[in-house]
Amino acid sequence: MPDDKQYDYLSDQTQLINRALQYTNGNLEKAQQMVAGIFQDVAVIKGKFKASKVGVFYVFLNIDSNYIINFNAIVTTYTDIYNKIRIFDRWKQFYAMFGDIAAELGASGGDSSKFANHLADAIEGYNIYEPIKTGNMQMVSELFEEIIGKYFSISADCQIEIDKATSLELENEDIPMELIDRQADEAILTPDEMKMREIESQVEYIIPGSVIVSPVKGKYINDIKQGEKISVMLTGKDPVSDRIARMFNAITGDGEYLPVSARIKEKFPLSSGGYAIYALVAKNVMVKIIEEENVKIDIERVEQKKEESNENMLFIYIALLLGLLFISGLIVFALI
CA 12 from chain center: how many Å? Answer: 39
pLDDT digits 0-9 by tens, 277-321 = 999 999 888 999 999 899 999 887 554 444 555 566 676 777 777
pLDDT digits 0-9 by tens, 168-223 = 999 999 888 865 544 444 445 688 888 988 888 888 778 889 999 999 888 999 99
Confidence (pLDDT) at 135: 87
Question: Among 48-62, 64-78, 169-183, where is mean pLDDT lowest?
Answer: 169-183
Confidence (pLDDT) at 1: 43
* Higher pLDDT among residues 1 and 36, named by residue: 36
Give the integer Cα–Cα distance in Å for 90 and 110.
28
Confidence (pLDDT) at 202: 84
pLDDT digits 0-9 by tens, 109-160 = 568 888 998 898 888 778 788 889 888 899 999 999 999 998 998 888 999 9
Give the integer Cα–Cα distance in Å for 305 and 15.
68
Work out the average pLDDT over 89-99.
94
pLDDT digits 0-9 by tens, 223-267 = 999 999 999 999 887 777 888 899 899 999 888 999 999 999 999
Torsion of CA 189, 192, 198, 204, to 10 degrees: -100
Confidence (pLDDT) at 266: 94
From the list 47, 30, 125, the residue with the least C-alpha distance to 86 is 47
What is the residue extent of each domain of the chain? 4-35, 42-184, 189-302
In the chain, the amino acid numbered 281 is V
* Higher pLDDT among residues 163 and 184, named by residue: 163
